[in-house]
Structure 1
Amino acid sequence: MSAPGCKGEDMHDDFDSCYRAVQSKDARFDGWFVTAVLSTGIYCRPSCPVRPPLARNMEFYPTAAAAQKAGFRACKRCRPDASPGSPEWNVRGDVVARAMRLIADGTVDRCGVTGLADRLGYTTRQLERLLQAEVGANPLALARAQRSQTARVLIETTDLPFSDVAFAAGFSSIRQFNETVRTVSALTPTALRQRAHSRDAAERVGTDVLSLRLPVRAPFSYEGLFGHLAASAVPGVEEVRDGAYRRTLRLPSGSGVVALTPHPDHVQCRLIIEDFRDLSAAIARCRRLLDLDADPTAVVDALSQDPHLSAVVAKAPGQRIPRTVDEAELAVRVVLGQQVSVKAARTHAGRLVQAHGTPLATPDGGLTHVFPSTEQLTALDPNRLAMPASRRRTLTTLIAALAAGDVEVDAGADWNTARAQLGKLPGIGPWTTEVIAMRGFGDPDAFPVTDLGVRAAAKAVGLPTASDALLEHSARWRPWRAYVTQHLWTALDHAVNEWPPRPTKQETR
C-alpha cells in the first residue's frame, strides 16, 4: 500500500484503500479517516486492535465529527477521537484547511461560526457548504467533537467537578455536557473517570497540572526538533529542565506553562493553565509547535528518491519542523535573528521579554514571562535596541503591521497573501519570508534557499550551493522542501541538533 500522503483529502471515498488499511491495522492512516461499523454503531481508528468487521458492515468518514454526526459513537478500545490529526490540515493552505486549523484553536467556541467565517472572508453559508462537502460536518459539529474531546481529557486527567469540566470544555449547560459525553463515548462522565484510573494513557495529577500523551506518527526523529527549540530558547520564556522543553504560553483567556518530553511514539505533555477553557487551544498549539500531525512516511518516501538525500533521510527519518505556539512571536524572532548567531538572537529576544513581556503571577523555574504581544511591542523604543538601524526599522515596521492587521500570520492566515504582505515590508527578503512560512505558517514547501546552514549542508551531501542551481534542483522535492531544510540542518554539527543539550560551563561547575 502506498503512503498515506499519496491519498489526498478524499481518501475516505476510496473504499478499497480504506478497507486494506483496516485489514492491515495500519497506524499510519490514523487521523486520515475513521471506520464506522454499521452492525455496532461505533467508529474506530484504522489501527483498532479489534477484529475487523465484514466489508458490508463498514462505512468510512473523513473525520470523527462526521461519524458522530451520522450517529456513531467512539470505540472504547482504540479511542479514535484521540488519534493524531489529519496531516491535510497542516500541509494545505486552502480555506478548508485554514478553517480546520482555526476550529482546532477554538475560534468557533470564542467567536461563533460567524466569527470563523468573517476571519476567512467567506459567508457562513459558503463556509458550511465547503466543510460539509469535504470533511462531512459543519463548523458546529466539528467544534462539538472538539469540545467532547476536551471534556474527555479533563474527565480523565483531573479531579475537577463535572460542572467545571462542562464549563471549561465550552458546553452551555451540564445537561448538554452529559448528553454529549454519553452520545460520543457510550459512557457517562462518571464511568469515563472510573476507567481512567486503570489506564496509562493519561496520568491523573490533580486540578493544577494536566498530564497527557500527545500521539505522534512514527517514525519520530525528535532530536533535531527538540534540539532546535532548546538551542534557540529565549530566557524567561523557554528553558530545558528535567529532560523536558518548557515554555510559557499566551492563551485566549489567560496564560500557561507547558513541559514537553519526547518519546519514540508520543510526547508527554504537562500543562498548567489559568483558565481551563484554554485547554483545546493549548493542546492544538503544542501540536503545531512540534509538527505532530505531519505525515513522516510520505516525506521519507519522497525524499529518499534523491540520491543526494537518501543517506541523510535514512539516518534520521521522521523529522519534524520546529514551529511555534505564536506566529507573531515567531515572525518577530526571525527578524531578530537576521544575520546574527542563534545566541545573539536569544539575547535580543530576551531583552524584549524583560522590557515588554507579561510577568507570570508565579514564576516557574526559569520561566518568568510570557512573550510580549504585538500590541505590547508597539511601545518599544527602537533606540534601545542594540542592532543596526536598518534592522531596527524592519522590526518596528513588522510590529506595526502585525498590530494593525496589515500582515496576518496566525493559524488561519492565507499563506500566499501573508507572503505578499511580508514581502512589502522593508528589510524582509526571501530568507525571512520563507523561514516564517516554514516555522510559522507550517508550509511544507517553504524553502529558505539562501540559508547559510542549508548551503553548507548542501555542499556536504553533493548538492549545488549556488541559490539558482539549488532552487532548480529542489523542484523534485516538492511539496516537502521544508522537510529537506530540516534534514539538511540536522546534518550539521551544531547545537540545534543536540538533545538533550550539552550542559553549559556554569551548569557543570
Structure 2
Amino acid sequence: MALELAFIPPFDPGIFSFLAARAVTGVEEADATSYARTIALTGGRGPMFGTHGWFRVSWDGTALWLDFELEDPSSTTDLLLAVRHLFNLDHDPVAADAALSADPLLAPRVAAVPGIRLPGCVDSAEILIRAMVGQQITVAAARTALNQLMPLATPSRLPHGTMTHVFAAPGEIAAGGRAILRGPQRRIDSILTVSALLANGTLAFGEQDTLDSLHEKLLPLPGIGPWTVGYVAMRVLGNSNIFLPTDAAVRNGYGLLRGDSPAEARTIKAAELARMAAPLQPWQSYLTLHLWRVAGEK
C-alpha cells in the first residue's frame, strides 16, 4: 500500500522533470509526475552490503505517494528520511516564494511556479561523482557518460522493472572507470582520484557538514572548483543559499527572464549576476532553480 508523504504546500512538480533529465538507465525511471530508483542503504560499507531496495514517488496533482520495497524492513525509517531529503519535503516554500517575489523581475515567475523544490540526494558520494562527470558539459551529455558506467555497477538484489542495478559505487568507478570514461584526460584522472578517496574513506562528507567544511574537504581535490562545491552543497546539504553566477544556464535564464536575446544573455558577467542575487539571501538556491528552469524552457 502506498504511503502519502507530508509536505508544506504549495508543491511544484517540476522536481520530477529535473530528476528525469538526469536519470541513469538501469538505476532510475522518471517522468513529469513520478520518480523511481534502486537504492542501497549501505551505511558506507559499499553496494554489496547493507539493504537493497527500490522506491517510487508519484504526484497525483494534490498529493505525493511513496511505494517501496526493501530487503530489510527495519531500514524503512532511513529510506523515508532519504526520500524526504531528495524531494525537499521539509522546506517552507511560502517563505522562500515571498522573499523571491520581492524582486520585480522574479515576482511573475514565482507566481507562475510556486513551491519550487531543491532536489536533494540519497547518497552524497553519488552526487559528487555526478557533478564531476557533468562539469562543463550538457545535462544530456552527462547522462550519457553516467549511463556508460553501468557495466561497473552492482546488480540490485531487489530489481524492479527496468531498475536492475544500484548506482556505480566509488570503488567500482575507481577500479574500472578508466576503460569507460571519455573526455579530457585530466578530468578522467580527477574523477578516478576522487572516487578512490571516497572508496577508501579518506574523503567522507554528508548532510552533517557545513558549507565551510565542505569547502575545506572538496576544494583542494583535483578537478573540483567552486561550481562543483556549490552544486554539492545544494543537493547534499540542502543549503538554501547557493548561487552559481558562473553557470551558463543561470546566466541564460536571467537574460531570458529580462527579455534579452540569447546573444545578449551570453554577455552577462558573473559579477552582475552575483549583485542581482545578493538581496535574495538566504534563498539563492531557489533563485538558481528558477533561472535553470527558465533556461530549460527556451
User: What TM-score do you get using the length of structure 1 for normalisation?
Assistant: 0.53
Alpha-carbon shift at residue 494 of structure 1 (Å): 4.3
Mapped contact 2:211–2:233 kept (Cα < 8 A):
yes
Alignment correspondent of 2:7? 216
Alpha-carbon shift at residue 334 of structure 1 (Å): 0.8
Mapped contact 2:38–2:159 kept (Cα < 8 A):
no
Quote the Cα distance in structure 2 between the aligned partners of 1:347 and 1:299: 34
Quote the Cα distance in structure 2 between the aligned partners of 1:493 and 1:437: 22
1:392/1:311 CA distance change after superposition, 3 Å: same
User: Is structure 2 residue 285 aligned with structure 1 residue 482?
Assistant: yes
Mapped contact 1:217–1:265 kept (Cα < 8 A):
no
Alignment correspondent of 2:47? none
User: Is structure 2 residue 34 aligned with structure 1 residue 231?
Assistant: no
Aligned residue among 228, 232, 235 for 1:436: 232
Alpha-carbon shift at residue 241 of structure 1 (Å): 6.9
Alignment correspondent of 1:286? 83
Alpha-carbon shift at residue 362 of structure 1 (Å): 4.8
Mapped contact 1:407–1:418 kept (Cα < 8 A):
no
Quote the Cα distance in structure 1 between the aligned partners of 2:10 and 2:246: 29
Mapped contact 1:406–1:421 kept (Cα < 8 A):
no
Query: Alpha carbon RMSD of aligned pairs, Å?
Result: 2.0
Quote the Cα distance in structure 1 between the aligned partners of 2:18 and 2:150: 20
Aligned residue among 29, 38, 41 for 1:248: 38
Mapped contact 1:260–1:268 kept (Cα < 8 A):
yes
1:295/1:243 CA distance change after superposition, 3 Å: closer
Quote the Cα distance in structure 2 between the aligned partners of 1:294 and 1:241: 22
Aligned residue among 333, 344, 348 for 2:141: 344
More relative contact order in 1 or in 2 (CA 8 Å, sep 6+)?
2
Partner AA of 2:135 in structure 1? Q
Quote the Cα distance in structure 1 between the aligned partners of 2:173 and 2:296: 35
Quote the Cα distance in structure 1 between the aligned partners of 2:182 and 2:90: 38
Partner AA of 1:229 in structure 2? L
Mapped contact 2:170–2:195 kept (Cα < 8 A):
yes
Alpha-carbon shift at residue 400 of structure 1 (Å): 2.4
Alpha-carbon shift at residue 439 of structure 1 (Å): 1.4
Mapped contact 2:174–2:193 kept (Cα < 8 A):
no
User: Is structure 2 residue 261 aligned with structure 1 residue 261?
Assistant: no
Quote the Cα distance in structure 2 between the aligned partners of 1:448 and 1:263: 32
Name the SS of the counterpart of 1:272 in structure 2. Answer: strand
Quote the Cα distance in structure 2 between the aligned partners of 1:418 and 1:406: 14
Alignment correspondent of 1:119? none
Alpha-carbon shift at residue 373 of structure 1 (Å): 2.3
- Tell me the number of residue pairs that the alignment of Structure 1 and Structure 2 aligns: 284
1:188-244 residue CA offsets vs partner (Å, 9 max, x unmatched): xxxxxxxxxxxxxxxxx4xxxxx201111111111x210010111001110137953
Which of the pair has more CA radius of gyration? 1
Quote the Cα distance in structure 2 between the aligned partners of 1:404 and 1:417: 19
1:341-391 residue CA offsets vs partner (Å, 9 max, x unmatched): 222211211222222x11023532110100122233331242432121011
Mapped contact 2:15–2:119 kept (Cα < 8 A):
yes
1:470/1:258 CA distance change after superposition, 3 Å: same
Alignment correspondent of 2:46? none
Mapped contact 1:413–1:441 kept (Cα < 8 A):
yes
Alignment correspondent of 2:251? 455
Structure 1 alignment gaps of length 5 or more: 1-204, 206-210, 496-509
